[in-house]
Structure 1
């Protein structure tokens, strides 16, 4: 069986990774979200054979109570799966920050916000970025749609 090619987005989980992205001081704010970006360097990069694009999500208490913060993160995760998996610049870490309008903003507008922020930060690429997953190995739960 031939290897499947799928677009994969990894996750930032450690506080130090979030701080490294914030320390790059590259961000773009839109009404629905704030996007921060940082290119990989020798100090902090994913392990060999790991995903090329990683993303972290955050929502502060300014967004609202726990229910609203969780809803905002779910909406941002869906937007990232739809856009970043296919058009995110490889070898880049992103942090997506929820804003108070993230919860009520139309989904199409949220996608447009993410696309605009990617383009303004110079992290937009045309065409799908692919990561090869060997046949028989399960894909990441953050896997996006299949790429040809």
Structure 2
């Protein structure tokens, strides 16, 4: 299956990211991959890098690297009609691009087999 993944297939709504967090979770050294069925909306992707990773320059560099990885591997290895979210981990920006690439392919294969951790329940706000 070689469908093309473009910038039109990006997750932007917070609700989509929260829904993906309840899906399958596949950790890797440079990132965590979240995968969740999306009821026939096609193959979509999202990228999250928190401020704990570094300043804006570092976060944007990591997002650009993740975007290239997703564009390269989702068409062949991604799950159809699923949302794929990459969460950046500390040290992922210094990681060799080829290693990140092979880790993503491995993580997508695990997700396709249903291996990984089940999603997390939504956080509850703590009352004061």
Q: Normalized against structure 1, the TM-score is what? A: 0.69
Q: Structure 1, residues 26-58: CA drift from partner, whole Å, max 9, x if none? A: 1111111110000123xxx53xxxxx2000000
Instruction: Structure 1: state its 5+ residue gaps.
Output: 47-51, 124-148
1:1-148 alignment runs, 5 A limit: 7-9=4-6, 10-24=9-23, 26-41=24-39, 45-46=40-41, 52-122=42-112
Q: Structure 1, residues 54-80: CA drift from partner, whole Å, max 9, x if none? A: 000000012111111111100000111
What root-mean-square deviation, in Å, do the aligned CA atoms of Structure 1 and Structure 2 show? Answer: 1.8
Structure with the higher helix share, 1 or 2: 2
Runs (4+) of structure 1 moved beyond 4 Å?
Answer: none
**1:27 and 1:14 mapped to 2: Cα distance?**
19
Structure with the higher strand share, 1 or 2: 1
Q: Structure 1, residues 109-146: CA drift from partner, whole Å, max 9, x if none? A: 010111111111117xxxxxxxxxxxxxxxxxxxxxxx
Q: CA deviation at 1:85?
A: 2.2
